[in-house]
Structure 1
Amino acid sequence: MKLTKFAIVGMVAVATIAGTGTKAFAADGGTLGSKSDVTFTPNTSITTPVDPTNPGNPDPVVPVDPDHPAGTAGPLSIDYISNIHFGEQEISGNNEVYKAQLDQIKVGASETIKDIPNYIQITDNRGSNAGWHLTVKQDGQFVNGGSELTGAVLSFENPSLASAAESDAPTAGDFTLDPAGTSSDVMSADEEQGMGTWVEMFGADATEGAESIKLSVPGKTAKTPGKYEATLTWELTDTPA
């Protein structure tokens, strides 16, 4: 009887082990971690001009003006600034206000020429979202050889901002330049503003753009035949105003 009792106990023990083994195969397989990564490097490329009236257009844009200044390189850059042309004007003894000609670009593979407002293009690819500030100063009065256009005043009106980026817009306002060289505020982006590529047009479209940059010249100012020129210096700093 003792042998029988031990045999029964042994059978029960084997059945229990076999049942436990079945439950282990049916359980979850556990957890294991893996990694995903991305490495960022500073953006040092030059951003090419965009169509300011349609910044999201992927078609290539080429400025028509052969003398337009080259853009700056780096993660915070001035990509494009229109030269301001007032064309040929007859000498006048009256007070006159001359309006700047529109800028022009070639768009797409067909290089269709398009009249656009004069504009500035800024790109912030730093990733810090720290903001930035753009100013401009006039480096002296308009001159033609030894003749100076005394009392002439250059003004910019109707700023219009556009971007394909989704960041908050910078701010901009009208400004009038001082030939003595005092800097004027053009655009300013506070923290979390102005990331990506932004354009400031002077006029929301070609019609308004043709009325937005003016050169006022007193009638009493002496004038000689020939081209009067002035240089503007635009400065982009990496902190808000």
Structure 2
Amino acid sequence: MKKLVTGMLLATVILGAAGFEASAATVETKGDVIFKTQGDDSTGEVTKPETDDEIIKPVDPNNSKGTLRVNHISDYHFGEIEVKSDSYTVDALMDRYVDKDDATETEKDISHYIQVEDVRGEQKGWTLSVKANPFTPQGGGKALEQTYIELTQAKLSNTRMSGTEIVGAVNVFDGAASKNLTLGQSVEIMSTKAGKNTDSSKTSLVFNTAYTEADPAAGASTRVGEDGKYNPGVKLHAIGTDEKLVGKTYVSTLEWTLADGI
């Protein structure tokens, strides 16, 4: 008898559940946040080009401060070259970096690059330009009045945008295939296009189209009888008629300007 009663109650429960729809309640809650500027003295870390968050440390860092800033611009070292009366061209030695968490500080080759970080939070544009001064011998002497640097290759990437998106947002070399750093003149290297911005991201311009995250020195050139890897994307045009002194180190100061846009 007990079994039968239990079975009947169970049947009643099942029938009751099938005969009614369950009700649901919806409740909304909120979270909020206010973003503030980092400040004029803020600096950024260097992200390896074509990665989102792989931090590296340049061996010879060149950077600026502020919420629109240069995280790194490579120096260009061309090494020892011969005195000639004819004009000729040589590639620059690769830049160097170390992985952030490498306790051994092992230096690695990487193609020359520029990295601009925009954390203004204003969705505004920017322009990066450079003025090259003549190569002048340390310790005094006549400057090389015609010898100049040429940037011959360009590969863009961005930590937030895809390759197609960043090419649509940033202009390089005014659309030209290469750019001569004309002595004494301000030359635009890259800038945001009209109505575009790179806010909350890092934009890298690598002067080597063969560059990849896995092989940062891809496409490197070499010199006969010399060690080292050279980047074909950065060239020195040594003009034959410039008067040159043997054994002197000639230095060109490059003045880079990163300016607000609209």
The interval holding the TM-score normalised by the smaller chain is 0.7 to 0.9
Aligned to 1:48: 45
Partner Cα separation in structure 2 for residue 137 and residue 194 of structure 1: 24
Count of aligned positions: 206
1:35 is displaced (CA, Å) by: 4.8
CA distance in 2, matches of 1:46, 1:201: 21
Aligned counterparts of 1:73 and 1:150: Cα–Cα separation in 2: 33
Equivalence for 1:164: 159
SS in 1 for 2:232: coil
Q: Does 1:186 align with 2:189?
A: yes
Residues 210/34 of structure 1: CA separation in 2 closer, same or farther (3 Å cut) = closer
Shift of 1:197: 0.4
TM-score, with structure 2 as normaliser: 0.71
Residue 43 of structure 1 aligns to a residue in which SS?
A: coil
Provide the rounded CA distance (Å) in 1 between the counterparts of 2:27 and 2:207.
Answer: 58
- Is 1:143 matched up with 2:136? yes
* Pairing partner for 1:221 from 242, 251, 254: 242
Shifted more, 31-40 versus 107-116: the winner is 31-40
SS at match of 2:237: strand
Matches of residues 93-104 of structure 1 in structure 2 within 5 Å?
93-104=85-96
Structure 2: which amino acid aligns with 1:227?
Answer: T
Q: Which residue of 2 aligns with 1:237?
A: 259
**Distance across 2 between alignment mates of 1:94 and 1:235:** 34
Does structure 1 residue 92 correspond to structure 2 residue 84? yes
Larger radius of gyration: 1
Tell me by how many angstroms 1:141 deviates: 1.0
CA distance in 2, matches of 1:107, 1:229: 29
State whether structure 2 residue 134 is matched by structure 1 residue 130: no
Asked if 1:64 is matched to 2:59, the reply is yes
Deviation >3 Å, runs of 4+: 30-36
Q: List runs of 5+ in structure 2 lacking aligned partners.
A: 1-22, 212-216, 221-229
Equivalent in 132, 150, 162 of residue 155 of structure 1: 150
Cα RMSD for the two superposed structures: 2.4
Distance in structure 1 (CA, Å) of the matches to 2:111 and 2:43:
22
Displacement after TM superposition at 1:82 (Å): 0.4
